[in-house]
Amino acid sequence: MINIVLFGKPGAGKGTQAEFLKTKYNLTHISTGDVFRYNLKNNTPLGEEARGYMDRGELVPDALTIKMLQDEVEKNPDTAGFLFDGFPRTIAQAEALDAFLVSKGWQVDATVGLEADDEILVQRLLERGKTSGRADDQDENLIRNRYQEYNEKTAPLMEYYNKQGKFHAVDGIGEIAEITNRLSSVIDTLN
């Protein structure tokens, strides 16, 4: 069992790299965004609860997000490991993930941060916005606000996992295959 947290700013390539890593290492990819969309689309009890917060313009509480994630983990009891994408985003979520995994006899084995210069990422997202249809990929101010939120809430996770000796920074600029090789060289040291 190997459990990896993949994080980086919007546009850093997490989704692209997750596709390669899940195949190469036979991992179950859990994207918080996908889990939310599934629960909302299928009107699950957790999705309905989340929708209530969202309809009021409130953030979905960590406890509810964690419950959705736990349900997703429970659906995959025979997996070789998990690749968490978009979770955790805060120290509180990281602590909850650690506690949940420990209750299963597992742990986060490594966190890998895809690092890239903000200016390069802004251009990537603006380019992606031309075809993605996502409003938050088409407005430079919205993109920069997302980065500010990332810096305030998610970046502290680097220190949290670094203290545990589990944080690995990987250069997220270059050809997709080059970045995949960089990530693989980190993951290969875990086995």
pLDDT tens by residue, 26-60: 999 998 888 988 999 999 999 999 988 888 877 78
- How far apart CA 81 and CA 106 sit, in angstroms, is 9
The CATH number given to whatever domain includes residue 108 is 3.40.50.300
What does the pLDDT read at residue 45? 95
Which residue from 120, 60, 58, 48 is spatially nearest to 90, judged by alpha carbons?
60
pLDDT at 191 over 70: no
Query: How many CB atoms sit inside 10 A of residue 14's CB?
Result: 22
Q: What sign does the dihedral 4-10-14-15 (CA atoms) show?
A: positive
Q: Which residue out of 24, 41, 75, 128 is catalytically annotated?
A: 128
Quick check: is 124 catalytic?
Answer: no
What does the pLDDT read at residue 29? 95
Domain containing residue 171: 2-188
**Amino acid at site 135:** A
Q: What is the pTM of this model?
A: 0.86
Total structural domains within the chain: 1
User: Strand pairing of 110-115 and 2-8?
Assistant: parallel
Quick check: is 144 catalytic?
Answer: no
The predicted-structure confidence for 127-175, as pLDDT tens digits, reads as follows 888 888 777 788 888 888 888 888 888 888 999 999 999 999 999 999 9
Tell me what the pLDDT averaged over the chain comes to.
Answer: 90
Quick check: is 146 catalytic?
Answer: yes
Contacts of 123 (CB under 8 A, 6+ apart): none
The predicted-structure confidence for 14-32, as pLDDT tens digits, reads as follows 989 999 999 999 999 998 8
What does the pLDDT read at residue 56? 83
Q: Which residue out of 9, 144, 146, 153 is catalytically annotated?
A: 146
Q: Which residue out of 24, 75, 134, 144 is catalytically annotated?
A: 134
pLDDT at 65 over 80: yes
